[in-house]
């Protein structure tokens, strides 16, 4: 087992005509599909997401025919539903360690989400340390 530490990403936000920075748990990962080309992406480690949900544009870069996947409706905040397509054979690399998994791809999704099924369940431990603004992922 190996532990990997990531600093929270400082995301700029507009508040009262000032720019402030809000720490969010975005991590740099490498993603590929069926041993194909690899892409670096920033992904949100989202304990509230039930599955891995990626933008369809990322899937297309990976060479995936998005609509060929099994179609699902995914509900999010406010029970807003989006269409998504499930694909197997996704590799998520964290500092060289590969997690073989699946992901849902949607044309309505903008940022890659790493969720409970397909990411958290493949890790030994995912620790959010908000006070220190770091995430520790043990694989």
CATH, residue 16? 2.40.70.10
pLDDT band at 79 (very low <50, low <70, confident <90, very high): confident
pLDDT value, residue 24: 96
Mean pLDDT value of segment 28-57 = 96
Strands 18-24 and 26-33: unpaired
What's the rounded Cα separation, in Å, for the pair 17 and 104?
Answer: 37
Half-sphere exposure of 125 (CA within 13 A, CB side): 11
* Domain containing residue 99: 3-138
Q: Give the mean pLDDT of 38-55.
A: 97
Closest CA to 36 of 62, 56, 54, 58: 62
CA 125/CA 45 separation, integer angstroms: 12
Average pLDDT, the chain: 96
Domain count of the chain?
Answer: 1
Mean pLDDT of 45-55: 97
Neighbour tally for 120: CB within 10 Å: 18
pLDDT score recorded for residue 76: 83
| CA quadruple 45, 46, 47, 50: dihedral sign | negative
Write down how long the chain is: 139
pTM, full prediction: 0.93
């Amino acid at each position: 087992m190996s532990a990997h530490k990531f600093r929270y990403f400082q995301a700029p936000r507009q508040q009262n005509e000032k720019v402030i920075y809000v720490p969010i748990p975005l991590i740099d990962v490498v993603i590929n599909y069926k041993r194909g080309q690899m892409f670096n992406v920033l992904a949100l480690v989202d304990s509230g997401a039930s599955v891995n949900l990626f933008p369809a544009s990322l899937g297309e870069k990976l060479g995936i025919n998005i609509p060929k996947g099994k179609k699902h409706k995914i509900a999010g905040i406010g029970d807003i539903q989006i269409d998504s397509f499930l694909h197997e054979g996704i590799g998520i690399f964290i500092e060289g360690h590969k997690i073989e998994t699946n992901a849902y791809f949607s044309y309505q999704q903008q940022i890659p989400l790493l969720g409970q099924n397909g990411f958290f369940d493949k890790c030994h431990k995912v620790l959010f340390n908000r006070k220190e603004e770091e995430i520790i992922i043990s694989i």
